[in-house]
Amino acid sequence: MKFPLSVAWRFLKSGKGQTLLILAGIIIGISVQVFIGLLIEGLQTSLVDSTIGNSSQITVESEESYGEIEDWETKKDKIEDEVGEIRYISPTLTLPAFVDFDDNTESSVFRGFSLEEAEDIYGFEESVVEGELPGEEGEVMVGKAMGENLELQTGDTLEVFDFDGNRSEVVVSGFFDLKVASINESWVVGTLDTAQGVFERENTITALEMQIEDVFEADILAADISALLDDPQLEVSNWKADNEELLSGLQGQDISSIMIQIFVVVAVVLGIASVLAISVIQRSKQIGILKAMGVNNRASSLIFLFQGLILGVIGGLLGIALGLGLSYAFMEFATGPEGEPIVEIALNYRFLAFSFLIAVAASTIAALIPARRSSKLEPIEVIRGG
């Protein structure tokens, strides 16, 4: 084992031109694979975050529109205790309403939250553009666009009324921008107590909203929660069912990424195999002499397999380094108007390890062809042939 490895290393050092050519092919191939893989993964993460990062990923609500969930505290505790993949869960009371200010009336969606629990889902604190979060009962926060339409200021008093004739006055504590036009134009956000007081629904909610550890498991967890609650009056929805077009786009990206990586690996394998095959011809006299000295077919084959292994290890490491460099350069130069990266690329150590293993495996497999060819060389014929 030590002898074939030593000869393989000497062959690589003596044929520096060929060695560098093979290494260049591996490095470029693996760097492209790493760059494309990390870029598409970053793009998918950005798309998912912008779509559902600050919203409910699984929602438990009544089958009746804006219907009440009975005994919701018990159901919330049961989900938290039984479903380990739940990151955050927040009770909400959501009802359609109208808001009136200075004889200007706007339709709205009044949302009452347990703000401390809802913060982990919606990130209200970061979204405040003026004023502050509602602190006391009777305070609300209004979407930025609605505030502009009604010409509101912090401290103004709004009249809120619904279809049942319930009327209440609330004070504007601040304005928020959740980066979604429809939300900024329609949401009025208050505490759960405020919403229950406005609509005269004591200790009532209309939904339990959740975020989970793995967003792509939402449909499976939604089915588990539905079975756990076992209540025909409740409906458990998930973001995947509501975003089929987005999922189709993500699947298309996955397929294109896999195909690109496959073609890159095939190109690397063919390049290594062809160059090492030529190396067998060039080294045939040395191999014949080694065999005449007692080196068996297995050892002569191992010489080329070790060459492939060495090239794969070195090329894989350098290729990953170059791929990471390309990724960070892309983030540095591909930026938005405010200087933020268009696509945030994060390190995925599992993917990088997989890419390294692909480089090593591809190089070793590519060396099988020249290794087999070297094992068939007859020493006497090679030496006679010069």
State residue 300's pLDDT score.
Answer: 66
277, 333: one domain: yes
| Whole-structure pTM value | 0.69
The fraction of the chain above a pLDDT of 70, given in percent, is 87
Separation between Cα atoms, residue 370 and residue 377, nearest integer Å:
11
List the single range of 7-11, 66-70, 120-124, 274-278 with lowest mean pLDDT.
274-278
Separation between Cα atoms, residue 27 and residue 36, nearest integer Å:
14
287, 322: one domain: yes
157, 208: one domain: yes
Residue type, 76: K
116, 258: one domain: no
List the single range of 24-38, 239-253, 303-317 with lowest mean pLDDT.
239-253
Residue 59 is assigned to a structural domain of this protein: no
102, 41: one domain: no
Report the candidate in 232, 250, 228 with the shortest Cα–Cα distance to residue 240: 250
47, 84: one domain: no
Query: With contact defined as beta carbons under 8 Å apart, do 129 and 184 qualify?
Result: no
Report the candidate in 272, 302, 386 with the shortest Cα–Cα distance to residue 5: 302
Please provide residue 290's backbone torsions phi and psi, each rounded to the nearest 5 degrees.
-60, -40
pLDDT mean over 67-76 = 90
pLDDT tens for each residue of 339-378: 677 777 878 888 889 888 888 888 887 777 766 666 665 6
Residue span of the structural domain in which 9 resides? 2-51+246-385
Work out how many domains the chain is built from and give that number.
2
Domain boundary among 232, 254, 275: 232
* DSSP 8-state secondary structure symbol assigned to residue 341: B
Residue type, 241: A
Torsion of CA 167, 168, 174, 177, to 10 degrees: -30
Beta-strand (E) ranges in 132-186? 139-143, 157-161, 167-176
Residue 289 pLDDT more than 70?
no
Residue 385 pLDDT more than 60?
no
Residue 237 is assigned to a structural domain of this protein: no
